[in-house]
A = this chain, B = another copy of it.
Amino acid sequence: MSVEDRKERNREELRQLILNAAEEIIGREGIEKLSLRKIASKIDYSPSIIYHYFKDKSDIVEQITADRFQMILSAISKSKESGGDPVEKLKKLNRTYIETALSMSEAYLSAQLSTSPDVLRFTSCMFRGAGSSNPALAVLCASLKEIHGQSTPKEDELELTAQMIVSASIGLILKLSIEKELSQGQRQRLIDQFVNVTVLQIAGRSPYEKSI
Interface residues, chain A, with chain B CB atoms under 8 Å away: 30, 32, 109, 112-115, 120, 123-128, 160-161, 163-164, 166-176, 178-183, 186, 189-190, 193-194, 197-198, 201-202, 204, 206-207
| CB neighbours of A112 from chain B (8 A) | 174, 178
| CB neighbours of A201 from chain B (8 A) | 198, 201-202, 204
The CA of A175 and the CA of B170, in the complex, are separated in Å by 9
Of A125, A182, A202, the most chain B CB neighbours within 10 A belong to: A202
For this chain, the copies found in one complex come to: 4
Is A172 a contact partner of B182 (Cβ separation < 8 A)? no
Is B30 a contact partner of A115 (Cβ separation < 8 A)? yes
| CB neighbours of A207 from chain B (8 A) | 204
Given the interface pairs A113-B109, A113-B178, the reply to whether A126 lies near B190 with Cβ below 8 Å is: yes
| CB neighbours of A173 from chain B (8 A) | 171
| CB neighbours of A124 from chain B (8 A) | 178-179, 181
Listed by A's residue number, 12 A-B pairs whose Cβ atoms lie within 8 Å are A32-B32, A114-B178, A115-B178, A125-B175, A126-B179, A126-B182, A126-B186, A128-B189, A163-B190, A164-B172, A201-B201, A202-B202
Given the interface pairs A113-B174, A115-B178, the reply to whether A128 lies near B167 with Cβ below 8 Å is: no
| CB neighbours of A194 from chain B (8 A) | 164, 167
Within the complex, which residue of B32, B170, B202, B206 is in contact with A198, where a contact is CB–CB below 8 Å? B202
Of A164, A181, A189, the most chain B CB neighbours within 10 A belong to: A164
| CB neighbours of A115 from chain B (8 A) | 30, 178, 180
Name which residue of chain B comes closest to A186, CB basis. B128
Name which residue of chain B comes closest to A178, CB basis. B115
Given the interface pairs A113-B113, A126-B190, the reply to whether A172 lies near B175 with Cβ below 8 Å is: no
